Amino acid sequence: MKALIQRVAEASVVVDQKIVGQIGQGLLVLLGVEHKDDEAIADKLLKKIINYRVFSDEEGKMNNSLVNTGGGLLLVSQFTLAADTNKGLRPSFSSAAEPQQAEGLYDYMLGQARECLPLVGAGVFAADMKVQLLNDGPVTFMLEV
């Protein structure tokens, strides 16, 4: 499971010209699910995401997490993160989870996140989404478990 996390001042997801998820300050998380992933891996990754210290403290150092700041989390499924780009000029998706498995784990992680945080927004699994963000920093990290 891979998560591309971006610290944002604000972010939103639009599907069919309607906002389906949005947050102010917090993290935009693009989530890629691989066929080897399960709920235990999702739990481990979510714990890392919500506790990852990417927000500045009073001295300007990255010492605070979503848990400390009360920021929002916007979770968006993105199967292309599971691509193998090592060979050739076309990505291979052989390590990506099948849609049914990926959607189940995405929904699971979303439910777990909503139990941990006060503000959680989401995209729509497998939809054509338009993601808008104002990256704060920019600060972007790839997390894998």
Name the pLDDT band for 31 (thresholds 50, 70, 90). very high
DSSP characters over 111-132? HHHHHH-S-EEE--TTS--EEE
Residues 6+ apart with CB under 8 A from 33: 1, 77, 79, 82, 96, 97, 101, 102, 105, 106
d(C-alpha 123, C-alpha 85), whole Å: 25
- Domain total of the chain: 1
- 6 and 130 Cβ atoms separated by less than 8 Å: no
Pairing state of beta strands 72-77 and 62-64? unpaired
- pLDDT value, residue 44: 98
**Residue-range definition of the domain harbouring residue 125:** 2-144
Closest CA to 134 of 17, 15, 26, 20: 26
CATH of the domain at 91: 3.50.80.10
Report the sign of the C-alpha dihedral through residues 92, 101, 109, 14, in that order.
Answer: positive
Residues 6+ apart with CB under 8 A from 130: 13, 14, 15
How large is the average pLDDT for residues 27-52? 98
- pLDDT value, residue 70: 94
Q: What is the DSSP letter of 105?
A: H
Annotated active-site positions, please? 78-80
Mean pLDDT of the chain: 97
Q: Residue 74: what are its φ and ψ, rounded to 5°?
A: -115, 110
> How large a percentage of the chain has pLDDT more than 70?
100
Q: What is the pLDDT of residues 90-123, one digit of tens each?
A: 999 999 999 999 999 999 999 999 999 999 999 9
